[in-house]
Structure formats: C-alpha cells, structure tokens
C-alpha cells in the first residue's frame, strides 16, 4: 500500500460522527509511526482534485491499520464517504513556511508569498498558531499598501466568485454598534427601488447581538446559493442574503475566529476582509459606513479618516468605486437591539414611512450615496431622492418583493413577529436627562439574553441620549426566550448600567 517514504499513501475512510470544529483525522499508531507522524502533526488529505489539511490524532484500537477515521467537517469538505480510498501525506513543511518567516522577520511579502499563506490558511495546511502569528504580526508591523492589495487578491483567489450582468452596488457597515443590523433592511430596498442592482450579502453577528443576516432571517430565508442570488437579483434587483454559503473569500471566516479569541482586529485585515468579499461578489460600486463614537470600533474622527484613507486607497487599486460615510456611532442605532426586535423596527419604519431618526436618517444617507455613485443624481442630492422613494412607500413594496423572493411571508406585520416572552424592564431611578447609552453594555446584555442565537432575545430602548425622564419612567426592556438567560442578562444590566440618567442635583451638602 505504501508508495514512497514521506509520499502519499492511501487509506480507507471510516467516518467518525464527531465535530471537532477543526479538521482532525485519526490514524492507527503504526501507520502514523511509519509516516513519521506524531499526534498534532499536519497531513494533507487528497481525493481526486480536492485536497485539505488536517491535524492527526493516533490510536491503537479505535482505528485499524490502513484506515483513517475522518470527522464531519473533513468528510464534508472533501466529499468522501465510508469505504472510499483517500490519499494522505505528511506536511513536514507547509508551502507558506518561508513566506510566514519573512513576515515574522519584518520583511515585506510578495503577491506569491501572500498567496501561499492564504492558500495554506484556507486549505488548513497550517494550524491556528501560524494563522495567529500572521495576524499578530500585523499589530506590530502593519501591512504595506502593496501587501494589503496582495492580501485582498489572495483572499479572492482562494474562494468562489460571482458575476452579474449589470453593474452591482452594495453597502457595508464596519459594524460594532448595536442596533445597526436593521439599517440595510431599509437602505437596500430604497436603492433597488431606483432600479439599481444591489445583491447584498452579509455576515451573521460575530460580537454584536445581530448581524443583518440574523435580522433578515427573522423574515425570510437567507442561506441562498449563488444561483438563487443571481436569479432573485435579476427579478427584484436586490437580495438580503447570508454570505456564508457562497465560499466568498473563505480565509476571512478562519481569520475572524482567531481574531475574536485574541480580541484583536487589525485594520488592514478588516479592510481586506470587507473588500475581498465585495470583489468576490462582483461588486463594482460600494458605500462603506464607519460608525464613529464612544464604544464603536472607531472612537475618533481622526482615526476614521485614517481608516477611510486605507479603504479609498485600496478601492482605487482594485478599480472599485467607493464612497465612505462616517456616521454617529456613540449610542445604539434606533430603539431595538436583537434580530426579532430589529426586524420589527425596520418593518414598522418601512410601513409607516417614518421611525427613529438615527435609523431612518442613516438609511436614507447611505442609500442616497449609492444612488449618487450611479450618476443617476448629482452629488449632494441622493438623500432627497432616497427620501422621496421611502416616503412614497416604494421601498416597502420592494422589501415585500425581496421577502417573498427569499421565501418569507411578505404580508407579515411587525406585531406578528414573535419576541421573547420573558421580559424585564428597567426604570429610571431618578429624574433627569439620559446622558449616555453604552454600546458595549447594551451588547453584553442582549447577548446574555441570547441574541443572536435566540432570535427573540434583545433589548428595547424606551429612551435615547438627550431624552428627559422622570423617576420611574421605563429605560429599557430586556427580552429572552429563556427565563434563565433573562436572569443572566438582568444581572449584567444591574452590574453594568447600560443607560445613564443624570439628575440636575449632583450632591447635597449639610
């Protein structure tokens, strides 16, 4: 069975009904020894023209010599079943080894270096230590403009791409502010109502209580295939889909996982993450929203300017037309936080043609910029065009078409959308003015309540910054499907006060 030492050997596949969350295969100890492998060594598995990397584990009896026990994710990605023969060879030195060395030694990477790294990330020829080292190097030694372009190109090249027959427009928020996921539910239908193609794909929430995909999923299917997206976009000019099934720049999901664990978010990597998915999706014209303010990803306008510069520079290198909006991110957007609550708020605004200023104005501004990008209207007039579409109710009609095309019920009313039956309201302990609503604490409370996994969980804000309240007025209501999680959320909200009310009287002296 053996071919050559350190070469490829063939093994019979046995399936292990386990999800390791990382590619893992189990070999008999004897086979591992013959291949010079010890537990945690990496191997390449080969089936026809596909190959992926995996870590190995060894066993004496669980798997017999000549067989390989393969977990769900490996079997799925490689498309192998029980009894198949699969090639397996050690990866003593991954292809990206020298390129990664260069970066860790403070040398610049070439396009080829970058491709080798990203390709090894995507096919799992390297593990999370190597991936973390690439990301951490960026904290201390930023990517150059050239390296960033190489990174975007490599991330696109190692995934699938989609093309449309007409120019494609899109909007994207760098995120981080709770309540923001619903903005797209208003802005996208406005843009599509003007006849522009806006096949929006978005991610699920990573660290916030809801991503646009989570919120849209309350109303319709979002796990669309590339063919479905193209077909729906042709009919309705818009999608509000989850990008996860499309294999667009798949390195990103792997990077995001590690970034989240290390709680790092290198800017260049963020720019690459956003632009690579848009390039892969065939987007030619893009509006990026950078929320700025306390508790947002970007705290100061000067920082936002620098980040915007990075985006604009790359967009011009990538021949993408780009506009950037800095928006106020110092408190949650609108009144609601969490998938179902946000879906309700967006739907209500579309139906009633009005809503929370921070939500509706933002959506109109973003949509207006897209319309300006198209040249349909001169710079500075997009907002009014968007407002006209919104106030005539055209965007609600368009939204219903999108919901229907994505398999939802277009006639659903906001109040029919179920929200968590367990709820708890926090009241103002004093008379005064709302001086601060903390993004991070609102996020923590909504996530503790179960969002985004529990779609009905979240926070409803009865007030916004600047409101005057009396003692005993409601400030916020927490919702959850689970009474235990509601308790958790309430205890977090009592420890970290998410809404600050300051009275006029600061102190009484005797």
Per rule CB under 8 A, is residue 263 in the interface with a second copy? yes
* Site map 432..461 versus a second copy, x via CB under 8 A: ------------------------------
Interface with a second copy in residues 217-246 (CB under 8 A):
none
Q: Which of the ranges 123-131, 215-223, 226-234, 318-326 carries the binding residues for a second copy, by CB under 8 A?
A: 123-131
Residue with token string 């000067």: 302
Of the pair 3, 81, the CB lying nearest a second copy is at 3
Q: Which of the ranges 21-29, 181-189, 357-365, 391-399 carries the binding residues for a second copy, by CB under 8 A?
A: 21-29
Query: To the nearest whole angstrom, how small is the minimum distance from the Cβ of residue 394 to a second copy?
Result: 41
Binding test (CB under 8 A) with a second copy, winner from 120, 349, 485, 490:
485
Strand partners, 90: 43
Of the pair 48, 484, the CB lying nearest a second copy is at 484
Binding test (CB under 8 A) with a second copy, winner from 84, 128, 228, 404:
128
Of the pair 56, 315, the CB lying nearest a second copy is at 56
Binding test (CB under 8 A) with a second copy, winner from 95, 110, 111, 133:
133
Are 292 and 301 within 8 A, CB to CB? yes
Per rule CB under 8 A, is residue 303 in the interface with a second copy? no
Among candidate residues 30, 38, 39, the one with its CA nearest the CA of residue 2: 30
Of the pair 128, 228, the CB lying nearest a second copy is at 128
Q: Which residues contact 309 (CB under 8 A, 6 or more apart)?
A: none
- Distance between CA 115 and CA 37 in Å, rounded? 27
Query: To the nearest whole angstrom, how small is the minimum distance from the Cβ of residue 180 to a second copy?
Result: 24
Binding test (CB under 8 A) with a second copy, winner from 30, 261, 354, 357:
261
- Distance between CA 373 and CA 38 in Å, rounded? 56
Would residue 265 show up in a list of annotated catalytic residues for this protein? yes
Among candidate residues 475, 468, 467, the one with its CA nearest the CA of residue 429: 475
Helix, coil or strand: residue 59:
strand
Number of residues that bind a second copy (CB under 8 A): 53
Q: Which of the ranges 93-101, 174-182, 295-303, 333-341 carries the binding residues for a second copy, by CB under 8 A?
A: 93-101
- Which helix (DSSP H) or strand (DSSP E) does residue 251 occupy? helix 251-262
Strand partners, 326: 290
Query: To the nearest whole angstrom, how small is the minimum distance from the Cβ of residue 141 to a second copy?
Result: 6
Interface with a second copy in residues 141-180 (CB under 8 A):
141
Helix/strand/coil (H/E/C) assignment for every residue in 317-344? HCCCEEEEEEEECCCCCCCEECHHHHHH
* Site map 29..68 versus a second copy, x via CB under 8 A: ---------xxxx-------------xxxxxxxx------
Query: To the nearest whole angstrom, how small is the minimum distance from the Cβ of residue 254 to a second copy?
Result: 11
Are 156 and 282 within 8 A, CB to CB? no
Neighbours of 461 (CB within 10 A): 26
- Distance between CA 5 and CA 178 in Å, rounded? 55
Are 168 and 284 within 8 A, CB to CB? yes
Q: Which of the ranges 103-111, 237-245, 314-322, 357-365 carries the binding residues for a second copy, by CB under 8 A?
A: 103-111
Active-site choice (120, 214, 252, 265): 265
Among candidate residues 465, 481, 485, 462, the one with its CA nearest the CA of residue 473: 462
Per rule CB under 8 A, is residue 132 in the interface with a second copy? yes
Among candidate residues 492, 493, 458, the one with its CA nearest the CA of residue 478: 458
- Distance between CA 68 and CA 10 in Å, rounded? 9
Neighbours of 271 (CB within 10 A): 22
Burial environment of residue 377 by CB neighbours within 10 A (0 to 12, 13 to 18, 19 or more):
middle
Are 123 and 117 within 8 A, CB to CB? no
Of the pair 97, 424, the CB lying nearest a second copy is at 97
Per rule CB under 8 A, is residue 351 in the interface with a second copy? no
Query: To the nearest whole angstrom, how small is the minimum distance from the Cβ of residue 317 to a second copy?
Result: 26
* Site map 66..85 versus a second copy, x via CB under 8 A: -----x--------------
Query: To the nearest whole angstrom, how small is the minimum distance from the Cβ of residue 151 to a second copy?
Result: 18
Helix, coil or strand: residue 50:
strand
Per rule CB under 8 A, is residue 489 in the interface with a second copy? no
Per rule CB under 8 A, is residue 258 in the interface with a second copy? yes
Among candidate residues 445, 458, 509, 449, the one with its CA nearest the CA of residue 483: 449
Are 74 and 23 within 8 A, CB to CB? yes
Here the tokens at position 211 are 């991503």
Per rule CB under 8 A, is residue 5 in the interface with a second copy? yes
Binding site residues, a second copy, CB under 8 A: 5-6, 16-22, 24, 26, 38-41, 55-62, 71, 97, 100-101, 104-106, 127-133, 135-137, 139-141, 257-258, 261-264, 484-485, 487-488
By annotation, the residues acting in catalysis are: 265
């Amino acid at each position: 069975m053996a071919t050559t030492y350190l070469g490829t050997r063939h093994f019979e596949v046995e399936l292990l009904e386990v999800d390791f969350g990382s590619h893992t295969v189990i070999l008999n100890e004897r086979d591992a020894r013959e291949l010079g492998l010890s537990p945690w060594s990496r191997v390449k598995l080969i089936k026809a023209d596909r190959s992926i990397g995996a870590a190995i584990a060894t066993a004496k009896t669980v798997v017999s010599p000549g067989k390989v026990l393969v977990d769900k994710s490996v079997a799925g990605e490689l498309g192998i079943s029980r009894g198949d023969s699969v090639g397996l060879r050690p990866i003593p030195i991954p292809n990206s080894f020298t390129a990664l060395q260069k970066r860790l030694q403070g040398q610049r990477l070439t396009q080829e270096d970058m491709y080798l790294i990203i390709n090894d990330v995507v096919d799992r020829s390297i593990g999370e230590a190597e991936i973390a080292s690439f990301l951490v190097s960026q904290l201390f030694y930023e990517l150059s403009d050239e390296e960033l372009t190489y990174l975007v190109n490599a991330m696109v090249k190692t995934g699938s791409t989609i093309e449309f027959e007409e120019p494609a427009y899109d909007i994207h928020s760098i995120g981080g502010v709770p309540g923001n996921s619903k903005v797209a539910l208003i802005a996208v239908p406005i843009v599509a109502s003007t006849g522009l193609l806006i096949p929006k794909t978005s991610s699920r929430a990573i660290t916030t209580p809801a991503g646009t995909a989570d919120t849209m999923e309350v109303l319709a299917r979002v796990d669309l295939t590339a063919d479905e997206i193209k077909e729906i976009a042709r009919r309705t000019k818009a999608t509000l889909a989850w990008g996860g099934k499309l294999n667009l720049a798949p390195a990103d999901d792997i990077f995001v996982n590690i970034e989240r664990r290390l709680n790092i978010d290198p800017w260049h990597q963020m720019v690459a993450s956003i632009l690579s998915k848009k390039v892969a999706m065939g987007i030619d014209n893009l509006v990026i929203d950078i929320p700025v303010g306390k508790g947002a990803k970007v705290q100061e306008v000067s920082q936002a300017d620098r980040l915007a510069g990075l985006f604009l520079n790359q967009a011009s290198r990538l021949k993408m037309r780009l506009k950037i909006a800095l928006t106020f991110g110092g408190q949650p957007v609108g009144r609601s936080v969490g998938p179902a609550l946000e879906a309700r708020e967006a739907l209500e605004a579309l139906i009633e043609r009005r809503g929370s200023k921070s939500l509706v104005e933002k959506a109109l501004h973003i949509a207006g910029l897209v319309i300006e990008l198209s040249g349909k209207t001169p710079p500075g007039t997009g907002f009014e065009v968007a407002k006209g579409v919104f106030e005539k109710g055209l965007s609600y009609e368009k939204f219903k078409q999108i919901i229907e095309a994505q398999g939802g019920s277009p006639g659903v009313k906001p109040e029919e959308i179920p929200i968590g039956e367990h709820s708890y309201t926090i009241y103002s302990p004093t008379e005064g003015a709302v001086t601060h609503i903390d993004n991070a604490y609102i996020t923590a409370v909504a996530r503790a309540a179960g969002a985004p996994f529990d779609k009905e969980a979240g926070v409803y804000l009865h007030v916004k910054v600047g409101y005057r309240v009396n003692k005993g007025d409601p400030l916020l209501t927490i919702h959850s499907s689970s009474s235990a999680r509601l308790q958790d959320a309430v205890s977090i909200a009592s420890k970290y006060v998410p809404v600050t009310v300051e009275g006029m009287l600061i102190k009484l002296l005797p």
